[in-house]
Chains A and B, each alone.
Chain A
Amino acid sequence: MNELAVGAQAALLADGRRLHLNHGPMDLIVEAFGPPAEVEAAYRQARDRFATILDELVSELPALRRRYRATPASRCFAGPTARRMAAAVAPHAHRFVTPMAAVAGAVADEVLDALLAGRRLMRAYVNNGGDIALYLKRGESLEAGVVALTDRIAALGRVRIEHAMPVRGIATSGRGGRSFSFGIAEAVTVLARDAAAADAAATLLGNAVDIRHPAIERRPAIELDPDSDLGARRVTVSVGPLDEASVARALDRGVAAAEAMCTANLLYGAVLALEGEVRVVGRGFPESLPRTAA
């Protein structure tokens, strides 16, 4: 079919430590820490698992792009990655969501599990374009820089994930990313139990940071992408200058949604950014960040 297509590719990065996996829209950076032989075996396992993931997902793509509803048919997927996606969006099924909201995180989780199987490692992470699955052995921790990828690359701070914390996934969603959003958040970063859960929550919180405002331009998703899982729903195309009060109101809505998710145990902590304003919800993020007025 595709004469010049490049299949799944795996290579060590120039630093000789990190593994780079790429296939179509999936671009993963993997790093494991442990005895060299274990790391090598782990990388081989990750690579082997990665080789078929995209084809598995594509085979169920039409169903994965449909709205998730809490019905048996909606949950019925053949591929393990697709099942992770469905499981991650299931708790959010009271609003519009498709399993695609968790695709990047689910791929990261799937590759991480393959990497870990039977291996003895200290730490490992799989970073799928900002959606990150983590492994920490008892006593280990990992520090991550949290950035808002917006017009300016601005560091928001650092988070330290300890073994004892129920956090094995970090995801960032927002404008400037590849996926469409109903909302206007510049960046939402979520800590959750795994990458798929974090991805789903970050996607939905990105939608939740929103207001009606004439400076916000929206268009039906299918006008932009004929195959979008969001159909004719209107997605944000551009955001003009917003006054301070509007920014605060949009963030308030996002914070309310995040707090509800936090109460329902769907996330551990979240940080939401818009127009230089930053709000923090739950735990995990440093105190130095401006906190939401609870």
Chain B
Amino acid sequence: MTKAKKDDAGIVTCDACPVLCRIREGRSGACDRYANRDGRLVRLDPMLIANKAAEQEGEIVPFLSGAADWDGDILPRGESFLTGIGSGTTYPDYKPAPFIVSSQHRGVDMVTVVTEGIFSYCGLKVKIDTDRYIGDEQAAVVCEGEPVGHVTTAEYGSQMLALGGVRHLTGGSKKEGNVTCKMMLALCNKGRVELQVDGGARLEMQAGRPPVIDGVEEERMRVGCGSATIGMFAKQWYGHADEVVVVDDHITGVLTEHQAGKFLGMKPAGIRVRGRRSTPGRYFQVAGHGTGWGGTDVSEPLAVVETIDPKVAWPGLRLLMVSTTGQDAEFFRLDDDLRPVASEMPAPLAAVVERIGENCEPALTSVLFVAGAGGSLRAGVTENPVRLTRSVRQALTRVTCGGAPVYIWPGGGITLMVDVERMPDSAFGYVPTPALVGPIEFSMRREDYRALGGYIDAIRPLEDVERMTTARQTGWRSDNPWPLTPCGPEPRGGDGE
């Protein structure tokens, strides 16, 4: 990596953008975001102050609504919260964190310790809303030819990736580490990333956007597995079809055999699907994995039909085949030789197919950043690091990342998980180690901060920090809880919702 090319005069060449600034020691580049500190290129974003909307007559109005059209440089009327973005770090943390600020919230004196953590232990959990096959569990995920993660346990209606992590960042080759860092940085900053699963699909992903799998944008999550779909819509099909097969890569449902069909008193239709029968009307592995109907490799639905029993089926039998998203559906009638003939779908059935689609939520990619703040970063908060861990555990200290709520894993250390979508844009940076740099804030009552051995002398009023010329203001995301609401006794540390 050539991130910080240093020449004899102590000049560092920044290649964060095409301008390629040559930066002298102690100076910053044209963007004011990267600087040369002791011959090292460091990120120097202006501090981000998030402003909570001022409440007027019980109604939330956008900040600066009076100056509506202006990108406000004027200070807010509402409350402000200083985020860790651009605060810098004092790694290896032998001195107080860059900003320890105090502010009042409903009469309670709150302290927020603001810093940027250098996270050498960090990874991403990516949830891709799709039933399409993206690759085998444990298969490597490759970016620019380098392994950067793997496919992990699939979850309901979605495929999961575990990306990054210390083994790829620093445990492999230098290139592997750099590619991993770049990939994570892009995803964390809500950028688009292209990945290839070994022996599986090509994925294009961006937090909050539909995933693109092998060039096809996924639109909807399935409404449920094939069996669940039968359960949900059996009554609505009843009387309009003699058999319904819901094609699904996980569990394909067959209405007349299914408990739901039996309950309605439907008579067997004699249509037997391929695969392994799990329980009546529920079949595993009716076809291979793929990007066809319901996450199978089937593009012609009759391919999942193994036999039609002439002793049971009858001419004129009405058969609906549909996928779990309603994206694919076809209607057949059996002719006199009991062969299925594609026919126009009756309106009542078409309406239910449409309803399946309506019940499918939009398919999204979600990116959760997981990192350990249990190490030396704590020393920037207190002289006795374990007390911070305990304070977080006891829910006296609230942890946020760029103001976004985090989930703190149980067990030792401060291992947190945060949805990057709820963080401000471009909240992350990196260091050439390689490791990611992310904002982190610890908020607590002043007396709790004193109790955990905090740097009381380093506390500055928030207004002082706001007066800095470099402070950048942003609106507060209304779906994030306000971090300065003092933690009560009951919520867990970093209570999210």
A contact residues vs B (CB 8 Å cutoff): 1-6, 9, 11, 13-15, 18, 20, 22-25, 27, 29, 31, 33, 54-55, 58, 61, 123, 125, 127, 130, 142-145, 147, 149-153, 155, 176, 178, 223-227
Contact B16 A11, beta carbon cutoff 8 Å:
no
Contact B24 A225, beta carbon cutoff 8 Å:
yes
Contact A151 B469, beta carbon cutoff 8 Å:
yes
Within 8 A of A (CB), among B17-72: 17-24, 27, 29-32, 62, 67, 69-72
Selected contact of A25 from candidates B31, B72, B74, CB within 8 Å? B31
Nearest CB on A from B170, distance (A): 15
Given A4-B181, A11-B190, A13-B475, does the pair A125, B69 have CB atoms closer than 8 Å? yes
Chief secondary structure at chain A's binding surface: mixed
Residue of B18, B21, B426 with most partner-chain A CB within 10 A: B18
Q: Supply 22 A–B pairs (Cβ within 8 Å), ascending by A.
A: A3-B182, A4-B16, A4-B182, A5-B15, A5-B16, A6-B185, A9-B189, A11-B190, A11-B425, A13-B475, A24-B18, A24-B19, A24-B30, A25-B31, A54-B19, A145-B73, A145-B74, A176-B469, A225-B22, A226-B9, A227-B21, A227-B22
Which residue of A is nearest B181, CB measured? Answer: A4
Contact A153 B467, beta carbon cutoff 8 Å:
yes
Contact B185 A226, beta carbon cutoff 8 Å:
no
Nearest CB on B from A251, distance (A): 21
Contact A18 B16, beta carbon cutoff 8 Å:
no
Tally of A-B residue pairs with Cβ under 8 A? 125
Within 8 A of A (CB), among B337-357: none
Selected contact of B185 from candidates A4, A143, A151, CB within 8 Å? A4
Besides A2-B18, A24-B19, 12 more A-B contacts (Cβ < 8 Å) are A2-B2, A3-B2, A9-B426, A14-B475, A20-B425, A29-B71, A54-B19, A58-B20, A145-B67, A151-B467, A152-B467, A226-B9
Nearest CB on B from A4, distance (A): 5
Selected contact of B15 from candidates A1, A25, A27, A29, CB within 8 Å? A1
Nearest CB on A from B29, distance (A): 7
Given A4-B185, A125-B69, does the pair A153, B74 have CB atoms closer than 8 Å? yes
Which residue of B is nearest A33, CB measured? Answer: B69
Contact B474 A14, beta carbon cutoff 8 Å:
yes
Contact B73 A5, beta carbon cutoff 8 Å:
no
When each residue 456-477 of chain B gets 1 if its CB lies under 8 Å from chain A and 0 otherwise, what string results?
0000000000110100001111
User: B302 within 8 Å of A by Cβ?
Assistant: no
Given A3-B182, A153-B74, A155-B74, does the pair A22, B15 have CB atoms closer than 8 Å? no
Contact B19 A224, beta carbon cutoff 8 Å:
no
Residues of chain B within 8 A (CB-CB) of A226 are 9, 11, 22, 24
User: B191 within 8 Å of A by Cβ?
Assistant: yes
Q: Considering the chains assembled together, what is the distance between the CA atoms of A282 and B75 in angstroms?
A: 28
- Across the A-B interface, the 8 shortest Cβ-Cβ residue pairs: A24-B17, A2-B15, A25-B31, A25-B30, A29-B71, A58-B18, A176-B469, A14-B475
Residues of chain A within 8 A (CB-CB) of B32 are 25, 178
Residue of B17, B20, B189 with most partner-chain A CB within 10 A: B17
When each residue 175-194 of chain B gets 1 if its CB lies under 8 Å from chain A and 0 otherwise, what string results?
00010011001100111000
User: B430 within 8 Å of A by Cβ?
Assistant: yes
Contact B18 A224, beta carbon cutoff 8 Å:
no
Given A5-B17, A54-B17, A224-B27, does the pair A18, B3 have CB atoms closer than 8 Å? no
Selected contact of A6 from candidates B2, B189, B474, B476, CB within 8 Å? B189
When each residue 356-370 of chain B gets 1 if its CB lies under 8 Å from chain A and 0 otherwise, what string results?
000000000000000
Residues of chain B within 8 A (CB-CB) of A3 are 1-3, 15, 178, 182
Nearest CB on B from A227, distance (A): 6
Residues of chain B within 8 A (CB-CB) of A144 are 70
Q: Considering the chains assembled together, what is the distance between the CA atoms of A142 and B190 in angstroms?
A: 33
Nearest CB on B from A134, distance (A): 10
Contact B17 A4, beta carbon cutoff 8 Å:
no
Which residue of A is nearest B7, CB measured? Answer: A226
Selected contact of A145 from candidates B21, B70, B186, B467, CB within 8 Å? B70
Nearest CB on B from A18, distance (A): 7
Residues of chain A within 8 A (CB-CB) of B67 are 143, 145
Nearest CB on A from B355, distance (A): 29
Q: Considering the chains assembled together, what is the distance between the CA atoms of A147 and B67 in angstroms?
A: 13
Q: Considering the chains assembled together, what is the distance between the CA atoms of A180 and B15 in angstroms?
A: 22
Selected contact of A54 from candidates B3, B18, B190, B475, CB within 8 Å? B18
Q: Considering the chains assembled together, what is the distance between the CA atoms of A44 and B364 in angstroms?
A: 22
Which residue of A is nearest B182, CB measured? Answer: A4
Residues of chain A within 8 A (CB-CB) of B182 are 3-4
Given A142-B69, A153-B74, does the pair A2, B27 have CB atoms closer than 8 Å? no
Which residue of B is nearest A172, CB measured? Answer: B73
Residues of chain A within 8 A (CB-CB) of B189 are 6, 9
Selected contact of A15 from candidates B1, B62, B181, CB within 8 Å? B62
Q: Considering the chains assembled together, what is the distance between the CA atoms of A145 and B15 in angstroms?
A: 35
Contact B17 A23, beta carbon cutoff 8 Å:
yes
Residues of chain B within 8 A (CB-CB) of A29 are 71
Within 8 A of A (CB), among B382-440: 424-426, 430
Contact B430 A4, beta carbon cutoff 8 Å:
yes
Which residue of A is nearest B425, CB measured? Answer: A11
